[in-house]
Structure 1
Amino acid sequence: MINTSTAINPHAAQPTSLVALGKSLWRNRQLIVQMTKREVVGRYQGSAFGLAWSFLNPVFMLVVYTFVFSEIFKSRWGGEGGDDSKTQFAVVLFVGMIVLSLFSEVLNRAPGLILANVNYVKKVVFPIEILPVIAMGAALFHGLISLGVLLAAFLLFNGYLHWTAVFFPLVLLPLVILIMGLAWMLASLGVFLRDVGQTIGIITTVLMFLSPVFYPVTAVPERFRPFIMSNPLTFIIEQAREVLIWGHLPNWLGLGIYTLAASVLAWAGYALFQKTRKGFADVL
């Protein structure tokens, strides 16, 4: 049930503190879960395989990666880990794709979240600040399915799993916080600047090639590495490979600093969203 104790007047100023954000998420937790489920199921509504596509898509992509990079390009990741098997490149690449897909899916949708839910702004008492959270929940669901496919493939190819894989959620958490901050920013800006949706698609495509998804950081010439390392995806992708592929513990200090910076950005994004939402109804 939608809570009606707040946001009755769409033009009223809204709280911007982290405490208010926490209260909103907790108060609307059931609504978030219900709408996330609807988002996931609705994506495949009407298709013959339905929800099974969330499993079939990553399986198909992993098979394609394995064939193309091991049989056609004869690619080898090399470097740390020392495993030069034919399938290693595809598995390492797939880790990067999981992180990249989570980032791209949420941010590409963010500028249109409010535009696609005009009724929630104008006619229905609805906590619109949870819309980016719902988008994140759906993306995390698909990321979880892809992770399951990755772990199954790694087990099949190697015969074992690294125990350090249990740290993957902690590695991903700082990125999730960062994405939420950016999603609130983009959702707000997308209402007033319709070009944001087109621009963010270009940016996420550029970041795909400027992230160590298809190549290790060590393959980048020294003079260009600072640009690659400044990419917010680089550290998370590298740490994800450390715990999933190489069996190493994550860089706790790096994750702590990343989490702190991401939290500041998340608060800034939420504050911007809350301060500008009173103008949404007028623009829409």
Structure 2
Amino acid sequence: MHRHLIELILFSTYAELRAEAARSYLGLIWWVLEPAMMMGAFWLVFDVILHTGGPDYLPFLLIGMTLWQWMKSCITHGGYAIWSNLAMVRQVNLPPIVFPLIAMLSDTVKFMFIFALLVGILWAMGYPPNAAYWALPILFLAIFAAAAGAGFVVASIVPLVPDLRFVIEQVLTVVMFLSGVIFPLAKVPPGLQWLMALNPVAVVMDDARGILMHGQLPNWIGLGKVGAIALAMCAIGSLTVHRLAPRFPKLAG
């Protein structure tokens, strides 16, 4: 049963990617343009106007926005997947958690193409691939698990309170500004750096830049804590979706 379910998720992910490509030739291009436009705005404000960016701010910002776009897409697309497929939830005998997984895997496949482009851009900017790249799959696994856990929690609640998705968008914007996506943690006042270190997003951002820009391996202790938090969130989110699953078909009516 589990094998067939995994095959169904993988095939549905492939079908979703093909359908998206057929619907719009700008699908993947827009996935690049959206963070690129935001990155341009932040670079203009912090580096050009305020002069607070520093010499490495552009690659720093590029890495942060690329990873954040992936995390945000997994949380929002996965989080809205059950709500947007309520009619199908009523018609097919599948665990509802399948729908968020398909959305998140689809976004992850797109991220891999974007990341390959990012590596090429960084190389051209003087940051070639290095020996620390072997740690990237471990880092990406922790990031995906964290985003998936948050997405599962959102996916379980949004069908019951659809208007909550507007709040979630605002919450994610606040998280972005408080997680070192657009500024280095070193610029945080010393008295608050310990608080930033508790933020899983800030930890993975710092580790990703260390690998891609400086050839440094991640802080394994910090990354281990992120992994533990991510697994706990996945367990809580999965359990919540499972417990609320009988209510979703009734909502579709």
| Both proteins in one fold, TM over 0.5 | yes
Aligned residues between the structures:
252
Aligned to 1:37: 14
Query: CA–CA distance in 2 between the matches of 1:105 and 1:55?
Result: 10
* Compared CA separation, residues 271 and 153, structure 1 to 2 (3 A): same
Whichever structure has more helix as a proportion of its residues is 2
Contact 2:145 2:231 in 1 (8 A): yes
Q: How well do the aligned residues superpose, as a CA RMSD in angstroms?
A: 2.8
Deviates more, 1:256-265 or 1:207-216: 256-265
Aligned to 1:193: 161
Cα deviation code 1:34-80 (max 9, x no counterpart): 22123223334343x456626853795599479847983485755xx
Aligned to 1:53: 29
Query: CA–CA distance in 1 between the matches of 2:101 and 2:139?
Result: 19
Cα deviation code 1:185-235 (max 9, x no counterpart): 111111111232111101001111111121110111223334433322000
Compute the displacement of 1:146 (Å).
Answer: 2.0
Compute the displacement of 1:28 (Å).
Answer: 1.7
Local SS of the residue matching 1:192? coil
Structure with greater Cα Rg: 1
| 2:48 matches 1:72 | yes
Match of 2:57 among 89, 92, 112: 89
Q: Which amino acid aligns with 2:74?
A: V
Which blocks of at least 5 consecutive residues in structure 1 are unaligned? 6-22, 79-83
Contact 2:77 2:104 in 1 (8 A): no
Local SS of the residue matching 1:126? coil
Query: CA–CA distance in 1 between the matches of 2:129 and 2:41?
Result: 20
Query: CA–CA distance in 1 between the matches of 2:48 and 2:64?
Result: 20
Q: How does 1:161-240 map to 2 (within 5 A)?
A: 161-240=129-208
Match of 1:122 among 84, 90, 94: 90
Local SS of the residue matching 2:216? coil
Aligned to 2:68: 100
Query: CA–CA distance in 2 between the matches of 1:65 and 1:163?
Result: 32
Query: CA–CA distance in 2 between the matches of 1:55 and 1:152?
Result: 17
TM-score, normalisation: structure 2: 0.86
* Compared CA separation, residues 134 and 66, structure 1 to 2 (3 A): same
Query: CA–CA distance in 2 between the matches of 1:159 and 1:224?
Result: 30
* Compared CA separation, residues 169 and 69, structure 1 to 2 (3 A): farther
Compute the displacement of 1:109 (Å).
Answer: 2.5
Contact 1:239 1:250 in 2 (8 A): yes
Query: CA–CA distance in 2 between the matches of 1:204 and 1:71?
Result: 23
Q: Percent identity?
A: 21
Local SS of the residue matching 1:237? helix
| 2:220 matches 1:272 | no
Local SS of the residue matching 2:159? helix
